[in-house]
Structure 1
Amino acid sequence: MSTSTNTTGNTITYILVYVDDIIVTGNDNHRIQTVLHSFAARFSIKGPVDLHYFLGIQVTRTDSGVRLSQQKYINDRLYKANMTDAKPIATPLPTTPKLKLDSASPLQDATQYRSVVGSLQYLAFTRPDISYAVGRFSQFMHKPTGDHWQAAKRVLRYLSGTRSHVIFLHKKTPLTLHAFSDADWAGDTDDYVSTNGYIIYLGQNPISWSSNK
């Protein structure tokens, strides 16, 4: 992902480029059109349209803001894992027992586990509620066990019941930053390394989040 920002006085223009997907936005429509015409003079591009999808993220405008959703992506992942009709569950992971490196026997074929965890990493772009679980699963990619696979399928069951959850970016919100953070000090019984997590809001809008060991 490449990002460029241009600021002239009170006019701000943002350009986001990923391979052949481009977003041009800002607070001045005339400047946006100038940038688009400049691109069209140099490259063969499709006519500009309002943003609906970008990298698999569905964008829906409303009078009060913008909804970011990956519901279609969730549906595709559930279908691929043969869990379209999976019974929903209320939480991504139980609080106990914690997953361990050597819990249960290693999977004979870890391909599906790694595929599911990779897709969950991408899904965490709009689903901070699964960030911790995805971080845990990623620690076992080299040698996943049956317990790790069952835990990954539990997250898919959780997503089955929360497909409509979205990130909503409010149009009118105070431009104040605030954050929440927490840490599980030396909570990993495999190596006693800590896990920390945070989420940052601009007014009502979540703009950054992470869960890392």
Structure 2
Amino acid sequence: MDEEGIDVNETMYRVIIGSLLYLTANMPDLVLSVGMYARFQASPKESHFKVAKRILRYLKGTHDMVLFYPSDFLVDQKSTSGMAHFLGSSLISWGTKKQNTMALSTTEAEYVTAAS
């Protein structure tokens, strides 16, 4: 909370936070910090805006860091889901899992879902 800080443009702050919230679906390391600063969209202060810009600079510096899957890893058509656990900015564990079954039609997919 920065109740006595200088007010900034709410629209620009909301655009930045909205974009960062969209990215949290694929970047779990952003969830905590973006969620924390999303609370200040009603009356953002200069200190909040500086942190939002710092998060953008973090993204610029880490855009080439990805989890790599070799091409022979994806030889079948089963979906692969993944997870990553971060402690601060450090990746401490990660894992992947392929789906157990593969449906050839929408009806079959619904049947498999209902049966499970």
Equivalent-residue separation in structure 1 for 2:13 and 2:23 (angstroms): 15
Letter matched to residue 6 of structure 2: S
Contact 1:126–1:166 at 8 Å: present in 2 too? no
Deviation at 1:102, TM superposition (A): 1.7
How big is the alpha-carbon RMSD for the aligned residues of Structure 1 and Structure 2? 3.2
Contact 2:24–2:30 at 8 Å: present in 1 too? yes
Contact 1:104–1:145 at 8 Å: present in 2 too? yes
Q: Percent identity?
A: 33
Contact 1:137–1:148 at 8 Å: present in 2 too? yes
Provide Cα deviations, 1:43-97, integer angstroms capped at 9, x if missing partner: xxxxxxxxxxxxxxxxxxxxxxxxxxxxxxxxxxxxxxxxxxxxxxxxxxxxxxx
What is aligned with 1:120?
Answer: 20
Q: Which runs of 5+ in 2 are unaligned?
A: 75-82, 88-92, 98-116
Contact 1:127–1:167 at 8 Å: present in 2 too? no
Choose between structure 1 and 2: higher helix proportion.
2
Equivalent-residue separation in structure 1 for 2:24 and 2:43 (angstroms): 22
What is aligned with 1:106?
Answer: 7
What is aligned with 2:96?
Answer: 205
Selected match of 2:42 from 142, 145, 149:
142
> Taking structure 1 as reference, are residues 181 and 163 closer, same or farther at Cα in structure 2, changes over 3 Å only?
closer
Q: How does 1:25-44 map to 2 (within 5 A)?
A: none
Contact 2:24–2:31 at 8 Å: present in 1 too? yes
Normalised by the length of structure 1, the TM-score is: 0.33
Number of residue pairs matched by the alignment: 83
Contact 2:5–2:46 at 8 Å: present in 1 too? yes
- Looking at both structures, which has the greater relative contact order when contacts are Cα pairs under 8 Å and sequence separation is at least 6? 2
Q: Which runs of 5+ in 1 are unaligned?
A: 1-99, 173-177, 183-199, 207-213
Contact 2:21–2:34 at 8 Å: present in 1 too? yes
What is aligned with 1:89?
Answer: none
Choose between structure 1 and 2: higher strand proportion.
1
Runs of 4+ in structure 1 off by over 4 angstroms are: 167-172, 178-182
